[in-house]
Amino acid sequence: MYRKVIFPVDLTHIDQLTRALQTAIDLALHYKAEICFVGVSGTAPSALARTPQEYESKLAGFADEQGKAHGLKSSAKACISHDPSIDTDKTLLAAIAELGGDLVVMQTHTPQALDYIWAGHGDTIAVHSKASVFLVR
């Protein structure tokens, strides 16, 4: 049913993505689908990586580690944005379409008052993506 599971990942908060990550892995294993870890980073140095190339290498390493640990086909796509704080949704939507993802699994949070004014990343992806979207709290 699903061929490619897309898992947007923020490597700086990987410890907060445990439930969603396990859900994505379980679904990829169940459907014998590839899982692609997509990350969005800026061009400026950060605590995680000094350069876009270093970020791409860390994301690829994470994807490889997950694939080997769980016995599934994995890949990574690092998307570099000039301003991730405003471009993340647009960048993720473009990556999902480019990669041909048919299922997106994302971590989300309990809705708060501000979410009724500005949609979260998961909400925006669910509304605008052609892929099915599974939001995990």
Dihedral angle sign, alpha carbons of residues 17, 88, 72, 105: positive
pLDDT, one tens digit per residue, over 15-61 is 999 999 999 999 999 999 999 999 999 999 998 999 999 999 999 99
Distance CA 136, CA 107 (A): 5
pLDDT, one tens digit per residue, over 79-93 is 999 898 889 999 999
- Placement of tokens 């379409």 in the chain: 97
Mean pLDDT confidence for 97-108: 96
Residue 122 is predicted with a pLDDT of: 81
Q: What is the mean pLDDT of the chain?
A: 92
Residue 117 is predicted with a pLDDT of: 56
- Whether residue 42 contacts residue 84, with contact meaning beta carbons closer than 8 Å, is answered with yes
4-136 — its CATH code?
3.40.50.620
Instruction: Give the predicted TM-score (pTM) of the model.
Output: 0.91
Q: In what order do the strands lie in the sheet with 4-8?
A: 74-81, 34-42, 4-8, 103-107, 132-136
